[in-house]
Amino acid sequence: MEPPDAAESLDITAIMSRRVEAMKALRENPMDLEAMKVYHSCHKEFQAWIASKQEPGQYTGSIDFKPLTPDELSGPNQAWVKKDQFMKAAPVCEGIGMHLLRKMGWTPGEGLGKNKEGALEPLLPSIKTDKKGLVSELETKRPPLPAHHDLGGKHPVSALTELCIKSRWGPPEFTLAEESGPDHKKTFLFKVKVNGREYQPREPSANKKHARAQAAMLCLQETGVIGRGYSLGVSGQMAAVLTHQDIDLMY
């Protein structure tokens, strides 16, 4: 760093002129030691001149702005908006709107309209600073949808599988819980595990397909998808089925 007196005496114009001359000499002869010495000397003088122009600021112990308090930031009344700021606002005296009105023949103080019978004073709305009266559709509590009393034609196992996929519970796990009776007249009782919970009907069925359907039907009833009054016949055929749209409405 150059001393203060030396830094003040530096002439930036002379420094840059010498630097340019040194660069021209180096282009003609890159091995010119004298030109290299002048170039580096000019570079140091240039850095010293820059440093002499930098004046550090002085802290006076005070600041020019007033920080907002926590109440002003998070309170019900925001500091950056006032409820009556439109009422206290100055009237508009210029702008494209005023220009167009004047061009159409209107003058300040007259009412708007063909017969100049419009309001003389503009509307002065107040700003709503709270959230009272504002509610989103998701915040309202909807009553639970009534259970469907039919499935519309789809097999209970298919309806339960579709329900598990849409609810992201994983596929239902059917397990043979009981098998009894002679070979010519066996009965089967299946249970199904859905979302970590097992469902097992009380009455056995004459075949495995119907037993799985009974377990799936019990699960659909317990989860509220269909009413408890619905039951399967011995043949395993149903009167109705749960449609895709019904499952979307339930979940």
Written out in words, the top-level CATH class of the domain with range 156-250 is: alpha beta
148-200: pLDDT as tens digits: 556 667 888 998 999 899 888 899 999 999 999 998 899 999 999 999 999 99
37-49: pLDDT as tens digits: 999 999 898 888 8
Domain-by-domain residue ranges, the chain? 4-52, 156-250
- Phi, psi for residue 213 in degrees, rounded to 5: -65, -40
pTM above 0.75, yes or no: no
Mean pLDDT on 26-31: 88
89 — pLDDT class (breaks 50, 70, 90): confident
Structure tokens at 239: 């009167």
Structure tokens at 112: 């708007």
Answer for the pair 212, 191: CB distance below 8 angstroms, yes or no: no
